[in-house]
Chains A and B, each alone.
Chain A
Amino acid sequence: MFKKILIANRGEIAVRILRACRELGIQTVSVYSEVDRTSLHVRLADEAYLIGPAPSRESYLRIDKLMDVAKKSGCDALHPGYGFLAENAALPRACTVAGITFIGPSAEAMEAMGSKTAGKQLARRAEVPTVPGTSDPIENPEEAQALAQSMGYPVLLKAIAGGGGKGMRVVPNDAAFASAWRDAASEALNAFGDPRVFLEKYLVGPRHIEIQILADAHGRCVSLGERECSVQRRHQKVVEEAPSPVVTPELRRKMGDAAVRLGRAGGYTNAGTVEFLVDADLNFYFLEVNTRLQVEHPVTEQVTGLDLVKLQIAIAAGHRLPFAWETITPRGHAMEVRLYAEDPDNNFFPSPGKIISRHVPTGPGIRLDEGVYEGWTVPMDYDPLLSKLIAWGNSREETIARLRRALDEYTILGIRTNVGLFRRILAEPEFLRGEIHTKWLDEMLSRPHPPAASPRPGTEEAVLIAAALWHSAQSNVSTPGGAEPQAAPSRWKMEGRRQQMDHMP
């Protein structure tokens, strides 16, 4: 097993990996940019090194600096997390050169499966059904437009190197083609340094269902079942759950077999996700492979009882997978919501800032994966994901009830968040019936807001009293019922307590 792992990421996923390492008794090394000095992944790490200024291009995307840190600190493995360099084959290559194990697939498998066009070619070879479209990037916009006309609108433009909805445009008709092409290409260039895009037929109202696979270096490749991620806003997943409300054991087996076939064909190792679009008749079409850990991996962990990060590390260390596909059946139900620092009243525009105070939910069936804390300033330079709130229960109904309860307990002050959006989604009758598709949330948001439940009697009075009490405590004149000014702690007492701690085993 590894002695020390470099975590080439930040935020909640860096913290998630760090925790797995700690449970395995592996030392951790974090990296950080100038604005992340006080971030949780730096505070919790055994070692942490500054790798540059805030822009990720000058810090988290610098392979040379990562390799310097890995060598200097004596790491024997590197975990890329998701985002940043996680799907850049140059990183596993650099690791190989530096003699460090990359926790993920080989550079070759990453290239054979990760790029959307290569993945599609591989899927065709592995007899996995695909959505009609080009499998090669198109250089010439006129040629692409002609193809779109022959395929019939709507069509979808997608960045070759894409992910997270960046460099992606739906083109409803011929008139909109030219400008959509320009937008997609320039967005792709900015986000991934590669302007190439390709074209495919756009399915109306499909579900997004993905299969988690794990493959070890000894030829065993298994499916851990599906995640339903149909609730999306502008191609960004917002709510994820496992199992899917529509997937039957038979469909699960079929999709799992297809994903495993693809993994085998691409010589894949480690954790990966095969994404599918599923139409109303439950036909599934290969969409793309994510050659890394997914943001939404916790829902699979909750219904399988497995720790995917620890399994990733074990696979990278050459261990065999200790189970076969037949032994994996989802137990109960799990659901995740992604809490973002964004302003729901301002079109979900990022709203970073200082977290003045917060209260987080706990209790049965609740898990919170996050990289934030009270008093921390959410930097404006990165994805404003705050926390992933995950609930699980015996049934979908119980899970939703727990999630609602947890959202009511969750309070955060100082920044705007999308908590209210989830309250609304989790109350929508269509969502409760599982009647969702990838456009469902955009449609829901375009409908007028349902009137919010009015507060129970007494709320306004209570708020007035709280405002008065808080104000008077703050202005520190007379503090009726407020916190007493604390006496300075006695040095003698502190020292005595410290010495007692020293005697603890």
Chain B
Amino acid sequence: MKLEIQITGASGKRKHIVELERKGDLCGVSLDGQALDADAVQIAPNAVSVMIGGQSFEIHVSRSADGTLTLQCGPHEFSAEIIDPRAWGGRKHGAVEVEGRQEILAPMPGKVIRLLTAEGDAVEAGQGLLVVEAMKMQNEIRSPKSGKVERLLVKEGQNVNAGEVLAWVE
């Protein structure tokens, strides 16, 4: 499969095309159209082992609330935005429109101060769902996709932890 990935590290932001092809248990890789002497194996739900020309790398991956990936390789941290061709039709302003039911997570601990939508409301991608106040700053939590607010799991005035599910958008 072919993916366009925008990666951000200490040295800046770049876009690449990564193509993976299954070869038995491993997978063959080409980067920006060029075949690499590399293979990759997922060794744990959040860890990938990559070999490039005999150099061994271990990368830990997690997805943050806004859908970007955080990747750690030893002390180095990168973030990556995947531009999936299957979702190209729906994306706006370079952002990826996600598919399926989305859990809306609190990006930081704080307090829900306002609900901007109700269960059952139709929402556009990027529309504000609710406002969370943390450290005296108000943060609007936006819908990652157009669809319907299936459930709102928090009430106004409620304290939330980072990573807590706030709502489901279907």
Interface bits A331-372 vs B (CB < 8 Å: 1, else 0)? 000000000000000000111111011010000000000000
Stretch at the interface among A121-129, A241-249, A308-316, A459-467: A459-467
- Asked if A468 and B163 sit within 8 Å, CB to CB, the answer is no
Partner of B46 from the list A351, A353, A413 (CB cut-off 8 Å) is A413
List, in ascending order, chain A residues with CB within 8 A of B63's CB: 474
Give the contact stretch, choosing among A137-145, A176-184, A475-483: A475-483
Binds B, one of A229-237, A273-281, A450-458: A450-458
Interface residues on B, range: 35 or more
A371-400 CB contacts (< 8 Å) to partner B: 377-380
Contact B61 A481 (CB under 8 A): no
Q: How far is the CA of A474 from the CA of B82 in the complex (A)?
A: 12
Q: For A1, list chain B residues within 8 Å (CB).
A: none
A352 to B162, CA, bound (A): 6
CB-CB nearest in chain A for B51? A462
Question: Closest CB-CB distance, B87 to chain A, in whole Å?
Answer: 10
Task: Say how far B123's CB is from chain A's closest CB, in angstroms.
Answer: 22
Interface residues of B in 1-30 (CB under 8 A from A): 1, 3, 5, 7, 9-11, 14, 16, 18, 20-22, 25-27, 29
Asked if B73 and A463 make an inter-chain contact with CB atoms under 8 angstroms apart, the answer reads yes
The yes or no answer to A473 lying at the interface (CB within 8 A) is yes
- Contact residues in B for A352 (Cβ distance below 8 Å): 109, 161-162
Across the two chains, which residue of chain A brings its CB closest to B14? A460
Name the residue among B36, B44, B48, B69 with the largest chain A CB count within 10 angstroms. Answer: B48
Q: Are B162 and A464 in contact (CB under 8 A)?
A: no
Looking at chain A's contact residues, the main secondary structure is mixed
- A469-B40, A470-B61 given; A464·B18 CB < 8 A: yes
A455 to B59: give the CA distance in the assembly, Å: 13
State the CA gap A380–B11 with chains docked (Å).
34
Determine the distance from Cα of A104 to Cα of B97 in the docked complex, in whole angstroms.
59
Answer whether residue B76 sits at the interface, using C-beta atoms and an 8 A cutoff: yes
| Nearest B residue (CB) for A469 | B40
Contact B76 A467 (CB under 8 A): no
B50 at the interface (CB under 8 A from A): yes
Instruction: Tell me the complex Cα distance, A429–B7, Å.
Output: 33
By a CB distance below 8 angstroms, the chain A residues around B38 are: 461-462, 465
Provide the main secondary structure of the chain B interface: strand
> Which size bracket describes the interface of A in this complex?
35 or more
Establish whether residues B80 and A463, one from each chain, have CB atoms under 8 Å apart when the complex forms. Answer: yes
Contact A466 B41 (CB under 8 A): no
- B163, A353: Cβ atoms under 8 Å? yes
With a CB–CB cut-off of 8 A, which chain B residues contact A413? 46, 60-62, 70, 72
Q: For residue A386, give the distance in angstroms from its CB to the closest CB of chain B.
A: 14
* CA gap between A394 and B117 in the complex, in Å: 62
Across-interface contacts of A359 in B (CB, < 8 A): 47, 60
**0/1 per residue, B41-68, Cβ < 8 Å to A?**
1101111101011010101111100000
B133 contacts the other chain (Cβ, under 8 Å)?
Answer: no
A280 to B31, CA, bound (A): 58
Whether the Cβ atoms of A466 and B46 lie closer than 8 Å is no
Whether A43 sits at the interface, judged by CB under 8 Å, is no
A458 to B51, CA, bound (A): 9
B40 contact from A350, A354, A357, A465, Cβ within 8 A: A465
Pairwise interchain contact A481-B25, C-beta atoms closer than 8 A: yes
On whether A459 and B57 interact (CB within 8 A), knowing A352-B162, A353-B163, A357-B47, the answer reads: yes
- The answer to whether B80 touches A467, judged by C-beta atoms less than 8 angstroms apart, is yes
In angstroms, Cα B59 to Cα A465, docked, is 10
- For A467, the chain B residues whose CB sits under 8 A away are 5, 7, 18, 61, 69, 71, 80, 82
B75 lies within 8 A of chain A by Cβ: yes
Enumerate chain A residues within 8 angstroms of B36, measured Cβ to Cβ.
Answer: 461, 465
Across-interface contacts of B7 in A (CB, < 8 A) = 460, 463-464, 467
Question: Are the CB atoms of A454 and B61 closer together than 8 Å?
Answer: no
Smallest CB separation, A383 vs chain B (Å): 14
User: Which of chain B's residues have a CB closer than 8 A to the CB of A423?
Assistant: 75
CB of B78 within 8 A of chain A?
yes
Question: From residue B22, how far is it (CB to closest CB) to chain A in Å?
Answer: 4
Q: Enumerate 23 A-B pairs (CB-CB under 8 Å) in ascending A order.
A: A351-B109, A352-B161, A357-B62, A359-B47, A359-B60, A379-B161, A411-B47, A413-B60, A413-B62, A452-B10, A452-B76, A453-B75, A455-B76, A459-B73, A462-B73, A464-B5, A464-B7, A466-B48, A466-B71, A467-B80, A467-B82, A470-B61, A481-B26
Residues of A within 8 A of B (CB): 349-354, 356-357, 359, 377-380, 408, 411, 413-415, 420, 423, 452-475, 477-478, 480-483
